[in-house]
């Protein structure tokens, strides 16, 4: 047995979903086995480095454990991939939890300006800062607005932190400026998306070409795997 059930049940993401998602049946392989599907996508192409967010590190570690266990049984075939993290390895969702489609708290690259502005307006902030003249605690309160400032405008984040702590700015004004900054950041992606969407035939060509290249690599890996476990 390559993947014990206990490996999947201890996954932090799965345990978090059990606590957070109450309106769906999570006792299915779709939820429990999701990290295994991710591992398959990584290992079948023998990826050595994988760009992930910080919250996906446990999934990548599971991938490494699966590769290590397989190699121990059948010989070294699968590499143990390393993580590639950006300077901003984690961004919270607008409610302060992990950003996730499942939680409906995400900001998408496809979101229009008005949608983004509304989402920023609803971002979680320091619950102790109710009025402008209340001192804020942006670093310790889990303020989502401050987290986005740090990601998009680090220098501005330092100014905002001081202003918040010294009661010189309120959350409404802080959010309004962040909405402008975030929309400015997203605009090139919106434009590029619009340009690409105008040529669906080109998108199809790219997908077909990429699929053919990926299929060759995957077939080679699966041939090695099948040979190692005596299925050929």
**What is the predicted pLDDT for the residue at 231?**
86
**What is the predicted pLDDT for the residue at 41?**
96
* For residue 1, pLDDT beyond 80: no
Is 157 in contact with 149 (CB distance < 8 Å)?
yes
**What is the predicted pLDDT for the residue at 43?**
97
Confidence band for 25, pLDDT divided at 50, 70 and 90: confident
Confidence band for 10, pLDDT divided at 50, 70 and 90: confident
Look at 18 and 215; give whichever has higher pLDDT: 215
Please report the sign of the dihedral spanned by the C-alpha atoms of residue 204, residue 210, residue 213, residue 219.
Answer: negative
The percent of residues in the chain predicted with pLDDT above 90, rounded, is 76
Cα separation, 8 vs 25, in Å, equals 17
pLDDT per residue as tens digits for the range 162-189: 999 999 999 999 999 999 999 999 999 9
Mean pLDDT (whole number) for 216-225? 97
The average confidence (pLDDT) of the chain is 92
- Determine the Cα angle at 16 with ends 106 and 23, to 5°: 75
Task: Please give the domain boundaries of the chain with CATH numbers for all domains.
Answer: 5-90 (3.40.50.620), 113-197 (1.10.240.10)
pLDDT per residue as tens digits for the range 108-163: 998 999 999 999 999 999 999 999 999 999 999 999 999 999 999 999 999 999 99
pTM for the full predicted model? 0.81
């Amino acid at each position: 047995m390559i993947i014990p059930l206990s490996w999947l049940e201890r996954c932090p993401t799965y345990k978090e979903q059990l606590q957070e998602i109450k309106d769906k049946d999570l006792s299915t392989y779709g939820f429990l086995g999701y990290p295994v599907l991710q591992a398959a996508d990584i290992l079948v192409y023998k990826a050595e480095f994988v760009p992930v967010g910080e919250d996906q590190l446990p999934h990548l570690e599971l991938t490494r454990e699966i590769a290590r266990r397989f190699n121990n049984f059948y010989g070294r075939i699968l590499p143990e991939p390393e993580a590639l993290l950006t300077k901003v390895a984690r961004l919270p969702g607008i409610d302060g939890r992990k950003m996730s489609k499942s939680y409906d708290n995400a900001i998408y690259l496809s979101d229009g300006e008005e949608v983004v502005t509304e989402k920023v307006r609803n971002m979680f902030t320091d619950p102790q800062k109710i009025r402008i003249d209340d001192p804020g605690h942006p670093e310790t309160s889990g303020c989502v607005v401050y987290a986005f400032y740090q990601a998009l405008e680090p220098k501005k984040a330092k100014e905002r932190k001081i202003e918040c702590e010294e009661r010189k700015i309120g959350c409404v004004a802080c959010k309004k400026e962040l909405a402008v900054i975030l929309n400015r950041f997203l605009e090139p992606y919106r434009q590029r998306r619009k340009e690409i969407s105008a040529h669906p035939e080109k998108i199809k060509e790219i997908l077909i070409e990429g699929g053919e290249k990926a299929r060759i690599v995957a077939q080679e890996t699966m041939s090695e795997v099948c040979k190692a476990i005596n299925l050929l």
